[in-house]
A and B are shown apart, each in its own frame.
Chain A
Amino acid sequence: DAGVIQSPRHEVTEMGQEVTLRCKPISGHDYLFWYRQTMMRGLELLIYFNNNVPIDDSGMPEDRFSAKMPNASFSTLKIQPSEPRDSAVYFCASSDGRSLYGYTFGSGTRLTVV
């Protein structure tokens, strides 16, 4: 299995632009999570899906952030408009919801908003 695949690996954008991050979970995993990692706040859960349905979006910082999961093999996290304080590494993770070792992270997207 190729693991959790995220794209792009790096994204540099100007303030005010729309940014879309993409994630392909591990096949068969029915949970998908979006995290943000910064030096100041560590790893924060933004939102997670179960069977493509958003379950908890209480970690989404504000309305500029939105996430979708149109099918079991694809999810997007969109920021519109982007701001410099959104600069962080965004991770996608997926899980089978059952096994002790089934929770797997992708390699992340490093977002820089200038």
Chain B
Amino acid sequence: QQQVKQSPQSLIVQKGGISIINCAYENTAFDYFPWYQQFPGKGPALLIAIRPDVSEKKEGRFTISFNKSAKQFSLHIMDSQPGDSATYFCAADRGGTSYGKLTFGQGTILTVHP
């Protein structure tokens, strides 16, 4: 019940295209859903995050869509650029006494071709 399932494992997109990565969870106690971007040799960097009281959050070219009833959330990268090529992780956490115990998806390797 703690799992977060992420798909696809890898994704190839042309420059200017839309990249979409999906995640699904089971634990309805989760109330914090961040996305991390990781470049080779670096730590995961927090990209965008959402709480379940909103269905969508947009920051620049990055948008999280959240479907509470389906227990799914996704990351959309608009106008994808070669510099966006990285591994993306979704994660989930529940608050209260378990704050910070992020459960990560397995990651999606995104390649954006010029």
Q: Does B29 contact A (CB under 8 A)?
A: no
A100 touches B51 (CB 8 A): yes
Chain B neighbourhood of A48, CB < 8 A: 100-101
Assuming the contacts A100-B49, A103-B34, asked whether A91 and B101 have C-beta atoms less than 8 A apart, the reply is no
Q: Does B82 contact A (CB under 8 A)?
A: no
How far apart are the CA atoms of A56 and B99 in the complex, in Å?
11
Residue of B nearest to A94 (CB): B100
B100 touches A105 (CB 8 A): no
Which of B17-25, B38-46, B65-73 lies at the interface?
Answer: B38-46
B100 touches A31 (CB 8 A): yes
How far apart are the CA atoms of A31 and B93 in the complex, in Å?
14
| Among candidates A43, A100, A101, A107, residue contacting B104 with C-beta atoms closer than 8 Å | A43
Residue of B nearest to A43 (CB): B104
Chain A neighbourhood of B98, CB < 8 A: 56
Chain B neighbourhood of A81, CB < 8 A: none
Centre residue among A43, A104, A108 by max chain B CB count within 10 A: A43
Interface majority SS (helix, strand, loop, mixed), chain A: strand
B100 touches A33 (CB 8 A): yes
**Binary per-residue interface labels of chain A (74-114) against chain B in the complex, 1 for a CB within 8 Å, 0 otherwise:** 00000000000000000101010100110111111000000
**Binary per-residue interface labels of chain B (71-114) against chain A in the complex, 1 for a CB within 8 Å, 0 otherwise:** 00000000000000000010000000011111111110000000
| Among candidates B41, B44, B105, residue contacting A105 with C-beta atoms closer than 8 Å | B44
Q: Does A42 contact B (CB under 8 A)?
A: yes
Residue of B nearest to A33 (CB): B100
Assuming the contacts A101-B46, A107-B43, asked whether A43 and B89 have C-beta atoms less than 8 A apart, the reply is yes
Assuming the contacts A31-B99, A43-B89, A100-B49, asked whether A105 and B43 have C-beta atoms less than 8 A apart, the reply is yes
Q: Would you give the shortest CB distance from A104 to chain B, in whole angstroms? A: 7
| Among candidates B43, B51, B103, residue contacting A108 with C-beta atoms closer than 8 Å | B43
| Among candidates A43, A50, A97, A105, residue contacting B45 with C-beta atoms closer than 8 Å | A105
Q: Would you give the shortest CB distance from B64 to chain A, in whole angstroms? A: 11
**Binary per-residue interface labels of chain B (22-57) against chain A in the complex, 1 for a CB within 8 Å, 0 otherwise:** 000000000010101000011111100111000000
Q: Does A53 contact B (CB under 8 A)?
A: no
